[in-house]
Amino acid sequence: IEDWREEFVAVEPIILPIVSSTTDFDTPKTITDQIGIQFFESILRAKTSEGVGPSEADVVANTAARLKQTASDVLYGTKDAIIIPVSPEAIRTYANTMAQIITNNNVPNYDGELEIIDKALRLESPAELEKLEPLIAMYRNMRDQSLTTPVPEPFVKEHLDLINVYQALYKNLLDMKMIFDDPVVALMRVQRYQDDATGLSNGLRNMYTVLVPHAGLFTAQDPAVL
């Protein structure tokens, strides 16, 4: 109790008893604990401030905004791309390389990501989450290999869109693995996962659209047929 509040609730100063032993306070390390403590402290402060400072509604809105930030990613931009002049050979090499990256890293016959999370929660089994590892590696490798692929200048936007989707899905799965250790972060990633999966579909469709005018450069044996 702050000193000024004591004046209203007690005649004599309030003296806390000295205890014979103490326990060191462990600073919260997970986002779940940090946000939880901050939220309840802020709510209590709002209840006792009597109109001074943020209201309870403000506290909830601020907490929601911070929660949203836990599932945000840094975007790759043109400075991260290896941009080359456009030519028929450059287009053919680029499209074949990007398609080969997808083919080489594809994980066949796997359970859906959300199904894995659901099963792990129902069984209360962190071991089930290990099934996400091949998918995490898939998106990480597709991101990294795409970043090292030279891209003809007209395709830079579609190239970066695809890389950023790979990055988003990689981070989603990586954080979703924390469902038992840091559930707030994992649940925020689950919430945005479907949008990012849709983003992958859109990114591949857009890449197809910009390559269609150059279809004459490819044969049926080219990986770009993918």
**pLDDT digit string, tens, across residues 158-217:** 999 999 999 999 999 999 898 888 888 888 888 888 899 999 999 999 999 999 999 999
Q: In this predicted model, what pLDDT tens digit does every residue of 91-130 receive, in sequence order?
A: 999 999 999 999 999 998 888 888 998 999 899 999 999 9
With beta carbons less than 8 A apart as the criterion, state whether 193 and 176 touch.
yes
With beta carbons less than 8 A apart as the criterion, state whether 160 and 78 touch.
yes
For residue 158, which amino acid is it? E
The DSSP secondary-structure symbol of 130 reads G
End-to-end CA distance of the chain: 68
Helix (H) or strand (E) holding 167: helix 156-176
Is residue 28 helix, strand or coil? coil
C-alpha 99/C-alpha 109 separation (Å) is 19
pLDDT at 147 over 70: yes
Show the tokens assigned to 48: 């006792």
Average model confidence (pLDDT) across the chain: 86
C-alpha 43/C-alpha 41 separation (Å) is 6
Phi/psi of residue 23, nearest 5 degrees: -120, 130
User: Where is pLDDT greater, at 13 or 74?
Assistant: 74
Is residue 200 helix, strand or coil? helix
Total residue count of the chain as it appears in this document? 226
Q: What confidence score (pLDDT) does residue 13 get? A: 72
Of the pLDDT bands very low, low, confident and very high (cuts 50, 70, 90), residue 82 is: very high
